[in-house]
Amino acid sequence: MQRFASPRCLRPSPPLPPAGARACNEASAVSMALLAPPPSSCHHRSAPLPVPTAASTRHLRGSLLFAAAGGRTGPTSAPMIQPRPAAVERRRCECFDLHQQIVPYAEAYTWQKSIVKRRKELVDSGQDHSDTLIALQHPPVYTLGTDSKEEYLHFNEEDAPFEVHHINRGGEVTYHGPGQLVMYPILNLRYHKEDLHWYFRSLEEVIIRALKSAFSIDASRIEGLTGVWVGDQKVAAIGIHGSRMIVYHGLALNITTDLTPFEMIDPCGIKDRGVGSIKEILKKASDGRGIDDRLLMDIAYNAMINEFAELFQLSLDINSDCSFQ
């Protein structure tokens, strides 16, 4: 068992007054119009990230029909989600920005659980006034959710090519590694919508909007399958665990990820579809021209946190001074 090293930036969240909390076209053309979203008034952060000069229009925002229990996950249509009028009404969310750091999985998992424990104590005392978002990368690792089956592993677990962790999120086996943007929102759904199906669809929507706004990629859902797809390639996986309406774990988006380790598993138990990355999609659209990996990660992260804050109506308090030692 690895020793958990708390990040130097971890600190109790100062209490703030609480506040209350899009079907998209299926995958089509991809362009190289890389555009980081404009600065948002719902963020407090340092200097903006560098962005390419090409411009693209933002995605036409549709809506979601949030599935009832046992419902399917396919695209539907419904009235648009109406944002609240003023950012000052938004619930605070402390964002730990480690998106360019490689954090061991066991340490990040322990960190999440410690935050959840503290949040539950705050709920009991009526002081849970802030949500949490962690953004990072992991070294190569396989994680197996509560539904995982041995048949989805193409290796002997005792002689695995990378670390293997059995964890309490739902779902099957997946792979995490460098070049993959992992985001762990720790939210109290009492302040948003007490519906796990709504939460899954909302995380998918964040990714779909971000890929459109940042890269002009038309991503979509596939009915009956959780995650986000470009054509028949899965570019983002989602898995969560919830207790007393506090949800954690989250999503993993392949940006510049080496996809080879996915060949050693049936990702999420799916045998008949492939896995893709943003870099590979953009390379096909640009005839193989070089793309800077670090810049791609920065653009993706910037777009993701903007869309996350907008959809969940959160005011992000970004801490970029985090480190694990």
- Give the model confidence (pLDDT) of 168-205 as tens digits: 999 999 999 999 999 999 999 999 999 999 999 999 99
The model's confidence at residue 79, banded by pLDDT at 50, 70 and 90, is very low
pLDDT > 90 in the chain, percent? 64
Q: Which of 37-46, 167-176, 238-247, 266-275 shows the lowest per-residue confidence on average (mean pLDDT)? A: 37-46
Beta bridge partners of 143: 165, 174
Asked whether the whole model's pTM tops 0.85, one would answer no
For residues 11-26, give the mean pLDDT. Answer: 38
pLDDT mean over 303-314? 98
24 an active-site residue? no
Between CA 75 and CA 109 the distance in angstroms is 32
- Tell which residue, 306, 298, 288, 252, has the closest CA to residue 32: 288
Q: Per CATH, the architecture of 92-319 is what?
A: 2-Layer Sandwich (3.30)
Given 24, 42, 268, 322, which residue is catalytic?
A: 268
Two structure tokens written together for 219:
């991503």
User: HSE-up of 176 (CA within 13 Å, CB side)?
Assistant: 28
Q: Taking CA 70 as the corner, what is the angle to CA 66 and CA 73, rounded to the nearest 5 degrees? A: 50
